[in-house]
Structure 1
């Protein structure tokens, strides 16, 4: 039974965990989960796209990239009042974390960023945990967000460093790490994970997890996403990620980062209740939910469906 938090995992050790027989892997992950977390609790989060589409990046999985021809409608930055109203609805529905996402490559010091600061302050006053994902941040911008009341910042690694250039060419892997460092230095909790199903090997997945698990402080939350294929993007024809690949990723993340919240993120809409239950058993303890049934620009289960599932499984929503 694991009793310590480690930051010196090797690729070989993580591969050994990832390749365990599935039932043994799930058992070990569930055991670690019970040692460090309450397995009966799930955090409900709501993710709102406050600025949609028109992004100059070329992330090959993303329908918000301006260069791809998708059906996603470009939307300017939402009014602050509308965002606060959406946050209230999410809170009334049981969400305890409200994340605001803008399809930017990086944050710029302009009026739009001032408006985001006002949104953070407004959502914070509601008593919700406030999270943002806005692209790359400077150290000073991270400090401004912290002062406004930001609790967490999401900046996913997406893939391993070695496979990164196969998926994204408009920024470097090191720039991802630099933003995470700025967030951590500002005293904001880090939310960083990845996407599987991009054409990567299982070794790429292990390498991405090792990058997260060998940080001086593990990310407070790690989203595990299955590719949600968007028509018009280079990866639109990639096959659906098998359930057992998701279970292996979640279980491995749980074992090597025991105190981290592992978020079962994109791809849930294609899972049955039984498949989601496997993911919770493997150590996932957070989901994104909401009445709009979307996760940014891709489908997501409805809030009512999620509450019904949690009730069936005997799980309770909680705030961290």
Structure 2
């Protein structure tokens, strides 16, 4: 299919997604044409986000205590991966990590707990930690605590949580091959519950789990339909001790393929924050900077149980591109040092 590049961009600037046939053709572009796709995606990214990058820091506030059987996850009940396992951190520990995230230059602090959904003590800890963080630091707070009910979502919003993360992960047709203890529909309901409570929705995907191009397209359009405002695009990190740990499903995740995936999510969801997330270091390798021509967000430092790229390397990449981090709002409170940020 011949791609009408200018029309593709013009439609995206009006928040009109490409047809499925066009999106499929973008996924199937040869490597030598992918730079043209990245340039087109950059025009859309620049229109909506300029040269800004949202910097996020993750906190694994409770690790490895999960009854679910997600095949990609080192924290699931079926995982044999040798990861740290610990109960919920205290409010003071979470507050201390938030201070460090702000000092490192983060705009959003993501509090993640393992489990199907939050127990009362876990929820109360996150609520109090959020209130304490908001009283001291100009950080956005994103919570990720599994399946929510309406009352839990309401309490999170009232405490000051800005966004709720609950990834769709894969397509409806592929979901049963990845997890049997909950469904794709369970995840959609949680996203809808968060939206109803007034929370922003952070919901994304994990690529490299045996999905087809049609599954990828299903995910991209499902995220649009769900009203996702923030979309983390993760590339599977095969972890030994998990069912997907042998690396067989990620062989197609070349740097150019990863750029095509990111670009399709950008064109289908042009106004959404697209985050180049876990696995970018492993699969994009030396082409990582091109990912930020498409995505406008990243995680700084480490992921939940896996190491990420050194924060200094991320800041250098942002600076080399001529990009600048988004500034936390409101202005920092008295007595809190300003984070070190690269020159614009």
- TM-score band, normalised by shorter chain: over 0.9
How far apart are the structure 2 equivalents of 1:269 and 1:69? 24
* Alignment TM-score, normalising by the size of structure 1: 0.92
Q: Which residue of 1 aligns with 2:204?
A: 193
Contact map agreement 2:277 2:298 (CA 8 A) in 1: yes
Deviates more, 1:226-235 or 1:248-257: 248-257
Question: Across the two proteins, how many residue pairs are aligned to each other?
Answer: 311
RMSD: 1.7
How far apart are the structure 2 equivalents of 1:271 and 1:14? 22
Alignment of 1:80-119 (within 5 A): 80-108=91-119, 110-119=120-129
| Misfit runs of 4+, over 4 Å | none
| Cα offset, 1:279, TM superposition | 0.8
**Structure 2 residue 245 is the aligned partner of structure 1 residue 233:** no
How far apart are the structure 2 equivalents of 1:13 and 1:229? 31
**Structure 2 residue 55 is the aligned partner of structure 1 residue 55:** no
| Cα offset, 1:58, TM superposition | 0.5
Contact map agreement 1:198 1:238 (CA 8 A) in 2: no
Structure 1: tracts of 5 or more residues without a match: none
Structure 2: tracts of 5 or more residues without a match: 1-9, 329-344
Q: Which residue of 2 aligns with 1:5?
A: 15
Match of 1:45 among 48, 53, 56: 56
Contact map agreement 1:273 1:309 (CA 8 A) in 2: no
How far apart are the structure 2 equivalents of 1:163 and 1:272? 24
Q: Which residue of 1 aligns with 2:281?
A: 269
How far apart are the structure 2 equivalents of 1:72 and 1:188? 31
Contact map agreement 2:64 2:83 (CA 8 A) in 1: yes
Alignment of 1:1-320 (within 5 A): 1-2=10-11, 3-6=13-16, 10-20=19-29, 21-38=33-50, 40-108=51-119, 110-125=120-135, 126-215=137-226, 218-239=227-248, 240=250, 241-270=253-282, 274-281=286-293, 283-290=294-301, 294-319=302-327
* Secondary structure in structure 2 of the residue aligned to 1:214: helix
Contact map agreement 2:281 2:288 (CA 8 A) in 1: no
Contact map agreement 1:61 1:233 (CA 8 A) in 2: yes
1:114-172 CA distance string (max 9 Å, x none): 11111121222211000011000001110000000000111000001100001011101
Higher radius of gyration, 1 or 2? 2
| Cα offset, 1:54, TM superposition | 1.8
Contact map agreement 1:228 1:267 (CA 8 A) in 2: yes
How far apart are the structure 1 equivalents of 2:285 and 2:319? 12
